[in-house]
Amino acid sequence: MFLTGEMLIGQQSVTGSSAPISAINPATGERLEPVYLGGSEAEVERAATLAWQAFDAFRETTLSQRAEFLNAIAIEIEALGDVLVERIIAETGLPRARVEGERARTCMQLRLFAEVVSRGDWLDVRVEPALPDRQPLPRLDMRLRQIPLGPVAVFGASNFPLAFSVAGGDTASALASGCPVIVKAHSSHPGTSELVGRAVQKAAAQCSMPEGVFSVLFGSGREVGAKLVAHKFIKAVGFTGSFSGGTALMNIAQARKEPIPVYAEMSSSNPVFLLQGALSTRSAALAETFVTTLNNCAGQFCTSPGLLIAEKGALLSSFVESASAFMNESSTNTMLTPGIYEAYEKGLSLLNDNPNVRRLAQAKESDLPNQCRGSLFSVGAKDFIQDESLHEEVFGSAAIIVECDNFEEMVLVAESLEGQLTATIQADESDLGVAKHLMPTLERKAGRLLVNGWPPGLEVNHATVHGGPFPATSDSRTTSVGSAAITRFLRPVCYQSVPDMLLPDALQQSNPLMLKRLYNGDWEV
């Protein structure tokens, strides 16, 4: 497909008028064609108005029509074939296998939401039929269902150009719920965003969706993104990226005349607790898988393991020796953008300059541009607990090993942590009693708890939680991955004494959609 450098507003292609954006191939430094002119207030207005006009018609589409739309998007993305894969590789420097895997995950995710929409249980229908003879007062007929919030602004992430971008999890779950979507494309992969945007646009036309159900805008986050979030027709925001970007959008959303929810996934160091039994039986294997995980795709995962916590002693020394040897022998990996590379280097400098932190190992040097050299550091538990700067995520292949005097100190380290997307325990059978003492703390800190795994490589399914307390996300009550993500864009409405012919299908007495409903306190079959 030929890239035009245009934004997509409903079924139209629009050329912007503000500052130009060009993708840069981070592996070569080459500037990629075409140039994308950013949007202005006029395009935000046009996309938001069109989305608002589409809202009532879109939310009234049948469950099967919406499922068909989501499936059609997946088919159109697959139909882009290698053109899409090549463009992503050029714009991100990610390896082909990773890009192809992400494409499969993105299409699977769209199909998962198609199934979720069809099943309809997310409508959470509850019926409390009238009890006219109830004493001392009759009970009125009351019925509840969930309805979509309205147009959603989605911010694509740099590190997942498909799965957390134009047709990623935020878009899929918002469309599934019946919310039109306006994407503020990430400036690092505009060509990928145009390709995927055109796939969604085509699917919307094929499925006769109302125009305005989907738009893609280019431009700076501080200009176009901020205007979008402030627009009165936008009713929620989905975001993945930096802490500064996420909190800036939260502030804009809160300052509006009508504040709106921002679901931002921002920053997490993903602590891994290495227990003594695991260290005594499989230290070398743990060291190798840890370093391999940390270096994978330059550690540019929201769930990269940036903190290891263990008890000091001979077992930890042997682990550190093996991990350092693996790291010193590792090659570099290309980072997504020059900006992300600079942020990584700055993070390493801060750690190198910290007098309490010891540098243990670093991957080999490279002359290529934007190369991430994996790096291992260590620090004592007391220094870690007191120094807030060591709790901040360094986005990339950097990790700190926190050395504790004993298990009680490991618990204190766990207590000192901010909210996390994940927390992991590496434990053998002999460790389980001790591990039980960590679980209550880790539950309070993280959205996903793992035993004997590594946090990247998130499964997308009905039990997935990709969330966690602030600053991992802006709202710990939800997830941005997995079918439960749909709940972010819904709100309950109660219909009291409403005649059957005025009720939506989901609530009518005859249950024409054959939904699973909570009827008079019992599940209706």
The residues assigned a catalytic role are 265, 302
Binding span for ligand NAP by CB under 6 A among 95-103, 202-210, 262-270, 406-414: 262-270
Q: At what angle do helices 169-177 and 63-79 cross, to 10 degrees?
A: 150
CB 151, min distance to ligand NAP, A:
17
Q: Is 19 in the site for ligand NAP (CB under 6 A)?
A: no
| CB-nearer residue toward ligand NAP: 69 or 395 | 395
Q: Is 157 in the site for ligand NAP (CB under 6 A)?
A: yes
Q: Residue 174 and residue 238: Cα distance in Å, rounded?
A: 9
Q: Is 304 in the site for ligand NAP (CB under 6 A)?
A: no
Q: Residue 500 and residue 492: Cα distance in Å, rounded?
A: 19
Q: Is 11 in the site for ligand NAP (CB under 6 A)?
A: no
* Backbone angle region of 241, left / alpha / beta, with phi > 0 → left and psi within -120 to 50 → alpha: left
| CB-nearer residue toward ligand NAP: 99 or 340 | 340
Q: Is 168 in the site for ligand NAP (CB under 6 A)?
A: no
Q: Is 186 in the site for ligand NAP (CB under 6 A)?
A: yes
Give me the numbers of helices (H) and strands (E) for the chain, helices first please: 14, 23
* Backbone angle region of 297, left / alpha / beta, with phi > 0 → left and psi within -120 to 50 → alpha: left
CB 394, min distance to ligand NAP, A:
8
Query: Any idea of the CA torsion for 90, 94, 95, 101, to the nearest 10 degrees?
Result: -110
| CB-nearer residue toward ligand NAP: 187 or 371 | 187
Contacting residue, 92, 187, 420, 478, with ligand NAP by CB under 6 A: 187
Q: Look-up: residue for tokens 């608002």?
A: 52
DSSP state at residue 256: S
Q: Is 302 in the site for ligand NAP (CB under 6 A)?
A: yes
Start-to-end Cα distance in the chain: 49
| CB-nearer residue toward ligand NAP: 158 or 426 | 158
In this chain, which residue has its C-beta nearest to ligand NAP?
Answer: 221
Q: Is 108 in the site for ligand NAP (CB under 6 A)?
A: no
3-state secondary structure 325-359: HHHHCCCCEECCCHHHHHHHHHHHHHHHHCCCCEE
Q: Is 221 in the site for ligand NAP (CB under 6 A)?
A: yes
Contacting residue, 59, 103, 143, 184, with ligand NAP by CB under 6 A: 184
Instruction: Decide: helix, strand or coil at residue 425.
Output: strand
Instruction: Decide: helix, strand or coil at residue 198.
Output: helix
Q: CA–CA distance from 487 to each of 90, 177, 263, 282, 342 (Å)?
A: 35, 8, 11, 41, 37
CB 517, min distance to ligand NAP, A:
38
| CB-nearer residue toward ligand NAP: 35 or 130 | 35
Q: Give, as ranges, the residues between 356 and 395 that touch ligand NAP (CB under 6 A).
A: 395
Q: CA–CA distance from 53 to each of 15, 59, 64, 148 (Å)?
A: 22, 11, 22, 14
For residue 143, the cross-strand partners are 127, 495
Contacting residue, 61, 106, 158, 193, with ligand NAP by CB under 6 A: 158
Instruction: Decide: helix, strand or coil at residue 522.
Output: strand
Contacting residue, 36, 122, 155, 214, with ligand NAP by CB under 6 A: 155
CB 222, min distance to ligand NAP, A:
5
Residue type, 450: L
Q: Is 479 in the site for ligand NAP (CB under 6 A)?
A: no
Tokens of 152: 């959603």
Binding span for ligand NAP by CB under 6 A among 74-82, 114-122, 222-230, 305-313: 222-230
Binding span for ligand NAP by CB under 6 A among 90-98, 245-253, 322-330, 402-410: 245-253
Q: Is 220 in the site for ligand NAP (CB under 6 A)?
A: yes
Please, what sign has the CA dihedral across residues 34, 37, 42, 44? positive
Q: Is 26 in the site for ligand NAP (CB under 6 A)?
A: no
Q: Residue 413 and residue 380: Cα distance in Å, rounded?
A: 10
Q: Residue 92 and residue 21: Cα distance in Å, rounded?
A: 15
Contacting residue, 267, 324, 375, 478, with ligand NAP by CB under 6 A: 267
Residue type, 51: A
Contacting residue, 161, 245, 419, 482, with ligand NAP by CB under 6 A: 245
Q: How many CB atoms lie within 10 A of CB 364?
A: 13
Binding span for ligand NAP by CB under 6 A among 99-107, 202-210, 240-248, 489-497: 240-248
Binding span for ligand NAP by CB under 6 A among 143-151, 168-176, 244-252, 501-509: 244-252
Q: Is 222 in the site for ligand NAP (CB under 6 A)?
A: yes
Q: Give, as ranges, the residues between 323 and 342 that touch ligand NAP (CB under 6 A).
A: 340
Q: Look-up: residue for tokens 């002999």?
A: 430
Q: Is 241 in the site for ligand NAP (CB under 6 A)?
A: yes
Contacting residue, 75, 142, 284, 343, with ligand NAP by CB under 6 A: 343
Pair 165, 186: CB distance under 8 Å? yes
Please, what sign has the CA dihedral across residues 445, 451, 452, 455? negative
For residue 265, the cross-strand partners are 240, 473
Q: Is 40 in the site for ligand NAP (CB under 6 A)?
A: no
Residue count, binding to ligand NAP (CB under 6 A): 25
Residues in contact with ligand NAP by CB under 6 A are: 155, 157-159, 184, 186-187, 220-222, 225-226, 240-242, 245, 248-249, 266-268, 302, 340, 343, 395
